[in-house]
Amino acid sequence: MRVRNSLFVTALLPVLAVSLRAQHVVIKGATPSDVVKAVTNELSSQGFTLYDSTKTEAIFSLDRGVTTLNIRGSVSTITQVLEFHLRFKQKSDGLEVNANEEMVGARGQHMVEFRNPVRSRGEQDNMQKLLDLIKSDLEARPASP
């Protein structure tokens, strides 16, 4: 039984590793500002807005409307926001960009705020496609003199 379990785990490790590193690209010659502008251009038509941006991270948000929750026996209405997070890290071969999404309820209301990472395969694939598109667009730019 142990051999069978270890074979299963060994077979599953490459799949998990691909899944864990899937939403990531390294873009040659790009800055965080370049990436933020390119992502803004791609996502603004879908209703996303830039919520916050620094040299190491950017957060885009999409208002998903209001929902009701039963919190401790009391029914409350809360807003839900989809947050798209980008993290930047300069590497020797370019700018590393990592992406993830979270569904956030009652953002800013510390007593009831909750965050749920988006883990569906389809959403992960969409994030990777977006990163790949941004990478190809930015790397196709003519080099500055």
Domain boundaries, the chain: 23-139
SS3 for 49-67 is EEEEECCCEEEEEEEEEEE
Alpha-carbon distance of 8 to 109, in angstroms, equals 43
Topology adopted by domain 23-139:
Alpha-D-Glucose-1,6-Bisphosphate; Chain A, domain 4 (3.30.530)
Task: Look up the pTM and report it.
Answer: 0.80
pLDDT tens string, the chain, 145 residues long: the values are 544 444 444 444 444 444 444 599 999 999 999 999 999 999 999 999 999 999 999 999 999 999 887 877 888 888 999 999 999 999 999 999 999 999 999 888 777 788 999 989 999 999 999 999 999 999 998 876 5
How far apart, in whole angstroms, are the C-alpha atoms of residue 108 and residue 90? 30
